[in-house]
Chains A and B, each alone.
Chain A
């Protein structure tokens, strides 16, 4: 189990280190555990961290990361462009330039609503109707 774990951790290292010094690394870890009684878990964690650091520091990896970043950025832009082109056009439904009757009557000091886009509610419609009837009859 430990051999398998160490072998898996070695995969984190750049190929040059892994192939050239992999068995030596394992032997050194064994020596440190055997001679100094160091914590195996701690050694393996540090081994993994070193491997990651070296992998990231490898120039080839840096180029790969840069290429992936550039590719994903352009890919994201292209996808959002396609999505925007396919999306339905949003057209404002209704624009009232004059305030409704009930509104101007009750609150004449308020400026008329000019950007209403939704239909009046049933309550508003009935109130408008009653106000219209009242003004018509009296």
Chain B
């Protein structure tokens, strides 16, 4: 399955530990510079939860923390490996091309 860019960002954040909405937004912004909107974040979380890639933990006040599932970890690893391969190939071609 091809993960959307925003899903990769959310999964990458959750790979560092359980987080609720606000903490996820701040973490994603800190490592990628992307400021997800609340609607985009929960749209992505809803899809990831339906796909079984994240799990919602019991609520703390109105805030539910999320956890990466083994399936989510595997999907993220696969996607990041693919991105790394493409990045490596692109960098190699840029170096060879010289322009």
Binding site for B on A (CB under 8 A): 13-14, 16-17, 20-21, 23-29, 31-32, 35, 43, 46-47, 49-51, 53-54
Contacts and interface: CB of A to CB of B under 8 A. Distances in A.
A26 B62 contact: yes
Nearest to B49: A20
Contacts, number: 62
Contact of B38 (A14, A16, A32, A53): A32
Given A20-B49, A23-B62, A24-B63, A50 B22 contact: no
Contact of B39 (A16, A20, A54): A54
A47 B22 contact: no
B50 interface: yes
A79 to B, nearest CB: 39
A31 B22 contact: yes
Nearest to A21: B42
B62 A27 contact: yes
A29 B38 contact: yes
B25 interface: yes
B32 to A, nearest CB: 18
A35 B38 CA distance: 14
Contacts of A16: 46, 50
Contacts of A31: 21-22, 63
Contact of A25 (B39, B49, B50): B39
